[in-house]
Amino acid sequence: MSGGSPARRGIDDVDGITRVDGRVVLIDVAAEPLDVAPLVEGARIFVGYSGWTFGQLDGELLRDDWMVFTSRPGDIIAPPQVDLWGRVLRRQPQPWAMLATHPIDVERN
């Protein structure tokens, strides 16, 4: 282990952990598991790739092509059985909240 006992160190002192905001962090997949595990309350793993050309995402945001909502700490570590998309939409004002009632497969609507 690098730098002493993880139980005595804070998140900001562990190699491979980068604080995003409050208790929300990014964990480098190459980080030493024994250093990281004692500090992790829950995890959400994202796999894949998304890419945009220069300015493309800014344009999409300006055209309201994306729905951008404020998250809550519980969103990050919601259990897999939770419909996170529906949960976030239901706490939004109308008409966004109504989208939570749409079926996942729109052909079933």
Distance, in Å, from the CA atom of 32 to the CA atom of 16, rounded to the nearest integer, reads: 8
d(CA 86, CA 103): 10
Q: What is the dihedral of CA 11, 15, 17, 21, to 10 degrees?
A: 60
End-to-end Cα separation, the chain, in angstroms: 54
Structure tokens at 107: 């052909």
Average pLDDT, the chain: 83
Lookup: tokens for 44: 């959400």
| Contact by Cβ (8 Å): 74, 91 | no
Percent of residues, the chain, with pLDDT higher than 90: 26
pLDDT tens digit string along 25-38? 889 989 999 988 88
Of all residues in the chain, the percent with pLDDT exceeding 70 is 88
pLDDT of 20 > 90? The answer is no
User: How many residues are recorded in the chain?
Assistant: 109
Residue 53: is its pLDDT beyond 70?
Answer: yes
- Cα–Cα distance for residue pair 14/36, rounded to 1 Å: 7
Q: What is the pTM of this model?
A: 0.58
Residue 57 or 103, more confident: 57
Residue 40 has pLDDT above 60, yes or no: yes
